[in-house]
Chain A
Amino acid sequence: MFEVTLELQKDAVEMRKVYANTVREKIVENTPIIALEADLMSSMAMDGVHKDHPQHVINCGIMEANVIGVAAGLSLTGRVPFVHTFTAFASRRCFDQLFMSLDYQKNNVKIIASDAGVSACHNGGTHMSFEDMGIVRGLANSVVMEVTDAVMFRNILLQLMDLKGFYWVRTIRKQATQVYKEGSTFTIGKANLLRDGSDVTLIANGIMVAEALKAAEMLEREGVSAAVIDMFTLKPIDKDIIIKYAAKTGKIVTCENHSIHNGLGSAVAEVLVENHPVPMRRVGVKERYGQVGTQEFLQQEYGLTAEHILEAAKALL
């Protein structure tokens, strides 16, 4: 069960600290976790954990393809590998390895893909992934998620320790906007209705959840009732809630820090067209590559703000 906090303040703890702290906790508890890094250990606050637990945190160096294979071998011998690297390298760089060494042979490996979309900021366009969710959701056995805030990230990480299979968790590294109250829990594959509404439904994931909540406030001031759904599991997607809210509000806007192709917008459109077609708009990155900049600048530049969601919703009304 989850509870929403309405303040929309920054999380107290960075997402990378959530990862490092949770991994450390599971190591100390003597679970079979083993964390693999590809020379981005310090970027993910894992250097301290590595120093204290060198048998449980392996820095494999800059060789993402090999890291995926090593994780497969660890899985085949009973360990629970978590692999972290930047989203771009975890997806584009080693897709065949994800397919062949993990998903096809049902290995038990969790990929933590950081620096999602525009949050790669000053690493710029070369390091910015707008494609990964689409790439990974094409795999037959994959479960694909994007976490919203620190409370959710920790809860999902804890769940993944006990779930077998190929899981993809996309996240930003720094502070997210807090959406959920401490102690909230989440069901993988089931979306969260954050706010009910009757005129339009905003379906968002990742950093766009907070933007959608802000947009819903703005819409309310204009007399429009907007529902907000956090679709943190992209695959398997929660069809029921999409169909229910398409029927209830008759209009859908998707909001993602990703290309509008093959990610959340596409996945929601697929459900609608086969079940309950309604007019929709996709807020997301449109046929562009990234560039350097602050997250605020990039969200503005790529159309990923509450104002852009507001505009898209109004176009449907």
Chain B
Amino acid sequence: MKDVQEVRELARHIRIETLKMLTGLGFGHYGGSMSVVETLAVLYGDVMRIDPTKPDWQERDYFVLSKGHAGPALYATLALKGYFPVSELQTLNQNGTRLPSHPDRLRTTGVDATTGSLGQGVSIAAGMALSHKLAGRSNRVFCILGDGELNEGQCWEAFQFIAHHNLHNLTLFIDYNKQQLDGTLDEVIKPFDLAGKFSAFGFDVQTIKGDDVEAISEAVTPVRHAEQRPLVVILDSIKGQGVKYLEQLANSHHLRLTPDVKLEIENAIAELEAAHV
């Protein structure tokens, strides 16, 4: 990893900007945005071959946020990397905005695929990876799925497809934060042996802490070769990760801020801003 401190700093800023944009709005998908912050920081800050001045550069690595409701965290990342001005983040979900709650590639510079209807992003990522592999190109594809998203049957179609075609240039991250909209996974649809399922499909499976930037970076480095199996990284994460108040909530999937909650989040932003990483 090039510079751990730099990636941690990026993560801190992604978290601050995401909290600010949701809090400015007064509602939004807090929990699932927070739990992917470190992964986004590692991908955009260290791993992916990108050029924010050339968002359509054909040599770039591709990113698909299959769990589209974490869009705000992706926007914060893209803005901080220079795809568009950070000030634009405050237009999230405003009338006529280029930043809708779920990513839209035709509206937002730097978004590679439109997602939001769950289960579809992973298939799109598979198609991208297949395309690069068939053409013998070295572009890599990264895709983050939610653990609740795995309820969707299409995910499992895609996993079979990815394994069958040995798409070693594709890395899947499962944001295993153990909660979905209506409650915990155990209450709604149990994940059972998640790692075991992916092993059975023929993936190389790594389970790491969802906020451990060094472990995330190590998991996807070095670049995989044709003889290797596709990789799935299970991120053992916490919904609301990195914000104590949110981590302790029973359900932080979507919050509509009361004055009390708003104060809590504002305090968290102030703490993060004051933090020396």
Contact = CB atoms under 8 A, between A and B. Distances in A.
Interface of A: 34, 55, 58, 60-61, 63, 65-79, 81, 96-97, 99-101, 104-106
Contacts, number: 101
Interface residue tally on B, bucketed by range? 20 to 34
B31 to A, nearest CB: 23
A66 B157 contact: yes
B124 A72 contact: yes
Nearest to A96: B117
A66 B113 contact: no
B129 interface: yes
B246 interface: no
Nearest to A65: B154
Nearest to B159: A66
Nearest to A75: B127
Contacts of A105: 104-106, 113-114
A104 B104 CA distance: 9
A55 B158 CA distance: 19
A60 B165 CA distance: 10
The residue in A34, A69, A77, A97 that gathers the most chain B C-beta atoms within 10 A of its C-beta is A69
B134 interface: yes
B158 A66 contact: yes
Interface of B: 58, 62, 104-106, 112-117, 119-132, 134, 139, 153-154, 157-158, 160-161, 164
A63 B132 contact: no
Contact of A69 (B126, B134, B160): B126
Query: Majority SS of interface residues in chain A?
Result: helix
B126 A73 contact: yes
Given A61-B161, A104-B114, A105-B106, A76 B123 contact: no
Contacts of A96: 117, 120
Nearest to B113: A76
Contacts of A61: 160-161, 164
Contacts of B104: 105
B116 A100 contact: yes
B127 A76 contact: yes
Contacts of B161: 60-61, 63, 66, 70
**Candidate in B58, B112, B124 with the most chain A CB atoms within 10 angstroms:** B124
Nearest to B66: A69
A69 B131 contact: no
B123 A58 contact: no
A71 B124 CA distance: 7
B157 A63 contact: yes
A69 B105 contact: no
A34 B129 CA distance: 14
21 contacts: A34-B131, A60-B161, A61-B161, A63-B161, A65-B119, A65-B123, A66-B126, A66-B154, A69-B122, A69-B127, A70-B126, A72-B124, A72-B127, A73-B125, A76-B113, A77-B62, A77-B127, A99-B117, A101-B114, A104-B114, A106-B106
Given A66-B161, A105-B104, A105-B106, 11 more contacts: A63-B161, A65-B120, A68-B123, A69-B124, A69-B126, A70-B161, A71-B127, A73-B113, A74-B130, A76-B124, A97-B123
A61 B129 CA distance: 17
B124 A101 contact: yes
A95 B104 CA distance: 19
A69 B123 contact: yes
A65 to B, nearest CB: 4
